[in-house]
Structure 1
């Protein structure tokens, strides 16, 4: 039975590779920030690609906001995804990069341009419209990627290690910004991270993957209290 409160449901989803198979079963409620953690190679990026539609499962069912997702290409899913390398076009100015989130053909109206300027203001980049990505810091480029996601107004946001290239100060600033934007938008956020600090600062709940399976799906408090799994202990730095 479909859960009417769920943002995402994965039912007996399996992806097979030559030497391994990944298995995912979970239900993610709407409106929260979910940290997706686990060692490299545990299946985190594959999980995101399945949800976003960049990869198809070999079996199982994926439902997004109550609707079966298999027939929908990535562009038709109610999802924005930000990769750790930003996916900005170096030869296009910041306003144009953000405008691609509204219309890939860049057929933008005056109202669209106002929306772009507002999104840049919200991420702290007011006045940056004509700058080029290579002139920005890593944190500023991530803010541009967030602005592009904002103008799309999708209810789900997937962040694939969005702070990976940032120093600790920039990470803290981006975490604060993301938390503020989430409070404004009320969207559902899934964020892949290798840093316990990101989990503690941002997440309402945690999906933890190990060897291609979801071995924990807990509230933040419950996850931080766990002492029953070696992989989780390593991630949290428990003795």
Structure 2
């Protein structure tokens, strides 16, 4: 078996893991403004910027004033985490979860293809219907499909149990911006006041959504 050796240094870069971590968060705080966000949501915003590499993300964030308290309490009480995609689930840091919370994604459930075909919708949206038995008091993390967020809101309008909090950050060019605007307007339009965090526009994604959950899971940065 050959002995591995580090290649020679040809570039000047920081390679100390903890130092990279600390300086990354320091850089974000130097370059971003968190004015206008709830005071307790700064760490959530910082992690979402870290997960996206985009300091200007903060100006598009919309954070419900009750988000941090509701999500953190639910997680401490053992609430399940429901995700729209495996990429979101894989981005959640298990060691940060305060109660060994179960992370569930139903996208590969055998019932999903049939439901999607019968309803003429995406498989991601169909999988959301399988959340219903776990939805009451859960923390929802949507970082992929706008159809999943629309489907969730339609379920809530029809009387489905309400989650404790929604991280609604689907990404894309078709429906992403619209689904997130609908989430922001859900309380005014339908009287359903569920704490949420979202980012206006087309931006979003699994890394951004899971970063928000990781921040909510633990106060320590």
TM-score, L = length of structure 2: 0.33
In proportion to residue count, which structure has more strand? 1
Higher helix share: 2
Which TM-score applies when normalising by structure 1?
A: 0.32
